[in-house]
Structure 1
Amino acid sequence: MIEQKQQLEDAVNEALAIAKQLGVDQAEVALGKTSGISVNTRLGEVENIEFNHDGAMGISVYVNHCKGSASTADLSADAIKSSVKAAVDIAKYTSNDPYAGLLETDSLEDDPLDLDLYHPSSHSTTELLDIAKQCEDIALSSDERIVNSDGAGFNSHSSLKVYGNSHGFLHSYASSHHSLSCMLIGQDKDDMQRDYSYSSARDINDMFTPQWVAEQAVKRTVERLGAAKIKTQESPVIFAPEVASGLFGHLVGAISGSSIYKKSTFLLDRLDTQVFPEWMQISEKPHLHKGIASSPYDQEGGKTFKRNIIEDGVLQTYLLTGYAARKLNMPSTGHAGGIHNWFVKNSGLDLAGLLKEMGTGLFVTELMGQGVNMVTGDYSRGASGFWIENGVIAYPVHEITIAGNLKEMFMGIEAVASDIDPRSSLKTGSILINKMKIAGE
């Protein structure tokens, strides 16, 4: 992968040179190459082995604030030239947009950090299959209630990203990502349930062991057996880390630049106002070594900064690309392409302490459906998990719906536990919300 670095940077330079020859005002080129392997086993047999080697060059040009884009997977000189010409031709037919263009030069990263994101696997196909088989074998032999498997899989991929533009920016960085997963089926009498577990990391040596993944998959699956429905009511709700990260993901969407300038968010005009309880802190750390969402610069070449997103419950920033920043007459924030390692400050309680804090209520471990209105904040999703009584798990529950409004849910967060899920780019523990509507029987 690293050996390709100069070749890919040369291709980007060539595309930019052709764009300059054609007289465009501004041009940018993004080129990515990904290669890797995915293996899957089921019941001790190999289900599939898939190798992939993908890549494409994306070219955007700006002529009098009219944008044209084209792409090519062929990096020959003729193909690059044809693609740049195609982008220029397309720009002739697009509408003038005064906000279109490259990120301003003072916002570009001029000295990208090496964040130690590239750790390719040296494992052979046979070794990866053995890891998947080992994980599944441990799971299937751990509990007699595990009666079947949807398989185990190992994915190992590496990528190289190059970005250049006509402001003179040209940088690249390599990264890797590895994951192991196992999905099981459990049965107790007539009740059957399915659940899974996984591990992922930049460096294969930082992953949880196959035994850990197997044991977690077994635990999650058998704990679901015997699930019951509950009565329709209003009660406190705890979101487990896996689903709590998705809840804060709605915050990401609500404060993204496109949502703000389109006026399509429940957090419109809420900058510098309180949207969480006063004790809430959410920080962003883009430059963590080996971080799942670390990045030396964003997809426009913009600088990425350590910053507070929420401080003392107050919204500190929107998430702005260069385009959104110009539309809103604000500085760009380095978020073209998404967020970079968010951390939600916990309240000092472990999960057991959080359950005791709630006393009686619902502990949600899985959410279904997409019932979230980002304009109004109305929230309604299918859920399953556990009913809690006197601070301990009483029994599993399923086939329920939880509902509320994100504005009230955010302000109603009473505590965040310390049981952070390290596999997520948005790191949070379980969260306790004071009340939500639960639709059951």
Structure 2
Amino acid sequence: MTDSLDSARLIDRVAALVEAAKKAGADAADAVAVRGRSSGVSVRLGKVENAESSESDDVSLRVFVGKRVASVSATAASDAGALAERAVAMARVAPEDPFQGLADPSLLVKSPKNLDLFDATTVSADRLREDALAAEEAALAVPGVTNSSGSSASAGLGGLVLATSHGFLGQYVASRFSRSVSVIAGEGTGMERDYDFSSRQHFADLDSPDTIGRKAGERAVKRLNPRKAATGPVTVIFDPRVARGIAGHLAGAINGAAVARKTSFLRDMMGKKVAADAITVTDEPLRVRGQASRPFDGEGVEGRKLEMVTNGVLNHWFLSTSAARELGLETNGRGVRAASSVTPSSTNLAIEPGSTSPEDMIRTLRSGFYVTEVFGQGVNMVTGEYSRGASGFWIEDGELAYPVSEVTIASNLKDMFLNLVPADDLDRNFGTAAPTLLVEGMTLAGR
């Protein structure tokens, strides 16, 4: 991937947009240029089903007229003057918002760090096809696998240039490579599906196609001949694939925008106990080669590593400038450009590991439910109510005894967080990461 950001041209574009906004009458403005490049190949049963490549260069301009704000988005080739005049005209008729504005100049990063986010490796379409075919072949070679849902490989990059009217100018680019495969085991109504994937910022860090395929096939075969567990109280162990979703729910609940809107069930819990003593949650935007790392946020602020939760006690919200002002606080560099606006979000979030292995965690249970997949939209972030369809394996006498499907698990996230026990198998190669998690006191609805 020799084409990274073409930074000089995009810097000129955002600088021109900011200058045009000031000439059009804006009191302040910022502009971003976002570049995307991607190519991918998908195959099924040994044949290429799709090969695609995409390129995009987009800009957005945000202008402030007093306490009024408006944004416009367009392609990078659009006329800067026309965009600025339209944005300023929109701002003049927008309602006042006392919390809007650029980040405090004293918080802007002076020298953005190099986080090693870009790998210039060029991956040809032939190589992408070969990798996708190899992953599928490895999966189909697993005894019991009967069909393929498809396999894919992709390579791409995303870059951002940000300029503000109070003097900030910064840029970064991150690459992304991925491989995935999904296969089916069994026949007829007894078919079961599973998958595996690998996504990294550096090509050499990807799991091999053979490893991905074998894991996908083995997972699908293990799910054959499931039963429906009995209704009642249950101790649940969440596989890391599902535990990352639990971490995501926690991140959503401590998002400053949700707190300001009063749509989070943890909105009144700052400084209080929200999780078990064993739970510490970190967020680290400056981690080298991190999946969600960035040298500065969508407003030019460098975010430092934070312990969002320490031994169960909530320490911070995720904050952008506007969310922070609404809460009477200061941004902590978690602002993300979302279309033309800026909203707070996590970066490299992790529920830190405990001291028990997943195997020992399972071994301690006479009965329980090891969950490998959840589905459905049964999570209410206002109340914390949690109810999801689930599948996985029943635990009997400390061992995974048989596969389970067509059941529902339910609780409240407030109670789940207070009963979390983390295992020691944290994999930080995800933007939202979590180890295996045990939760006592959930309810299972089955037969």
Same fold (TM over 0.5): yes
Q: Which AA in structure 2 matches 1:420?
A: L
Instruction: Indicate the residue corresponding to 2:223 in structure 1.
Output: 224
Instruction: Indicate the residue corresponding to 2:339 in structure 1.
Output: none
Q: Is the CA contact (8 Å cut-off) linking 1:402 and 1:439 kept in structure 2?
A: yes
Q: Is the CA contact (8 Å cut-off) linking 2:352 and 2:426 kept in structure 1?
A: no
Which segment drifts farther, 188-197 or 399-408? Answer: 188-197
Instruction: Indicate the residue corresponding to 1:52 in structure 2.
Output: 54
Cα offsets for 1:78-122 (capped at 9, x unmatched): x22211111111112210111111111122212110100001331
Aligned pair partner of 2:422 in 416, 427, 438 = 416
2:380 pairs with 1:373: yes
SS at match of 1:358: coil
Instruction: Indicate the residue corresponding to 1:435 in structure 2.
Output: 441
d(CA) in 2 for partners of 1:274, 1:386? 32
Instruction: Indicate the residue corresponding to 1:295 in structure 2.
Output: 294
Displacement of 1:139 in angstroms is 1.3
d(CA) in 2 for partners of 1:407, 1:216? 34
Cα offsets for 1:238-294 (capped at 9, x unmatched): 111111111111111111111111111110121111111222211122211111011
d(CA) in 2 for partners of 1:189, 1:396? 18
Cα offsets for 1:29-76 (capped at 9, x unmatched): 011011120110111111111000012100010001111111111425
Q: Is the CA contact (8 Å cut-off) linking 1:27 and 1:165 kept in structure 2?
A: yes
| Superposition TM-score, scaled by structure 1 size | 0.97
d(CA) in 2 for partners of 1:285, 1:136? 35
Q: Which AA in structure 2 matches 1:73?
A: T
Q: Is the CA contact (8 Å cut-off) linking 1:188 and 1:226 kept in structure 2?
A: no
Q: Which AA in structure 1 matches 2:222?
A: E
Taking structure 1 as reference, are residues 433 and 373 closer, same or farther at Cα in structure 2, changes over 3 Å only?
same
Instruction: Indicate the residue corresponding to 1:331 in structure 2.
Output: 330
d(CA) in 1 for partners of 2:107, 2:294? 15
d(CA) in 1 for partners of 2:319, 2:123? 40
Displacement of 1:325 in angstroms is 0.6
Displacement of 1:3 in angstroms is 5.9
Instruction: Indicate the residue corresponding to 1:166 in structure 2.
Output: 165
Q: Which AA in structure 2 matches 1:242?
A: R
2:368 pairs with 1:346: no
Q: Which AA in structure 1 matches 2:142?
A: S
Q: Is the CA contact (8 Å cut-off) linking 2:147 and 2:184 kept in structure 1?
A: yes
Q: Which AA in structure 1 matches 2:316?
A: T
- Number of residues of Structure 1 aligned to a counterpart in Structure 2: 437
d(CA) in 1 for partners of 2:103, 2:13? 21
Q: Is the CA contact (8 Å cut-off) linking 2:33 and 2:160 kept in structure 1?
A: yes
d(CA) in 1 for partners of 2:109, 2:214? 44
d(CA) in 2 for partners of 1:207, 1:82? 44
d(CA) in 2 for partners of 1:129, 1:121? 16
Instruction: Indicate the residue corresponding to 1:393 in structure 2.
Output: 400
Displacement of 1:303 in angstroms is 1.7
Which segment drifts farther, 350-359 or 164-173? Answer: 350-359
Q: Is the CA contact (8 Å cut-off) linking 1:120 and 1:158 kept in structure 2?
A: no
Displacement of 1:371 in angstroms is 0.7
Matches within 5 A, 1:31-180: 31-76=33-78, 79-143=79-143, 145-180=144-179
Taking structure 1 as reference, are residues 358 and 108 closer, same or farther at Cα in structure 2, changes over 3 Å only?
farther
Q: Which AA in structure 2 matches 1:25?
A: D
d(CA) in 1 for partners of 2:242, 2:58? 33
Q: Which AA in structure 1 matches 2:31?
A: V
Taking structure 1 as reference, are residues 308 and 74 closer, same or farther at Cα in structure 2, changes over 3 Å only?
closer
SS at match of 1:387: strand
List structure 1 runs of 4+ shifted beyond 3 angstroms.
Answer: none
Q: Which AA in structure 2 matches 1:114?
A: N
2:231 pairs with 1:245: no
Cα offsets for 1:194-222 (capped at 9, x unmatched): 11100010001001001110011011100
Instruction: Indicate the residue corresponding to 1:425 in structure 2.
Output: 431
Q: Is the CA contact (8 Å cut-off) linking 1:16 and 1:27 kept in structure 2?
A: yes
Q: Is the CA contact (8 Å cut-off) linking 1:120 and 1:157 kept in structure 2?
A: no
Which segment drifts farther, 4-13 or 115-124? Answer: 115-124
Displacement of 1:190 in angstroms is 4.7
2:366 pairs with 1:359: yes
**Which sections of structure 2, spanning at least 5 residues, go unmatched?**
337-344
Taking structure 1 as reference, are residues 254 and 3 closer, same or farther at Cα in structure 2, changes over 3 Å only?
closer
Q: Which AA in structure 2 matches 1:288?
A: R
Q: Is the CA contact (8 Å cut-off) linking 1:368 and 1:383 kept in structure 2?
A: yes
Instruction: Indicate the residue corresponding to 1:26 in structure 2.
Output: 28
SS at match of 1:274: coil
Displacement of 1:188 in angstroms is 5.3
SS at match of 1:34: strand
d(CA) in 1 for partners of 2:267, 2:287? 31
SS at match of 2:417: helix
Q: Which AA in structure 2 matches 1:96?
A: E
Q: Which AA in structure 1 matches 2:260?
A: Y
Displacement of 1:345 in angstroms is 2.1
**Which sections of structure 1, spanning at least 5 residues, go unmatched?**
none
Taking structure 1 as reference, are residues 255 and 198 closer, same or farther at Cα in structure 2, changes over 3 Å only?
same
Q: Which AA in structure 2 matches 1:404?
A: S
Instruction: Indicate the residue corresponding to 2:274 in structure 1.
Output: 275
d(CA) in 1 for partners of 2:98, 2:426? 44
Q: Is the CA contact (8 Å cut-off) linking 2:247 and 2:351 kept in structure 1?
A: no
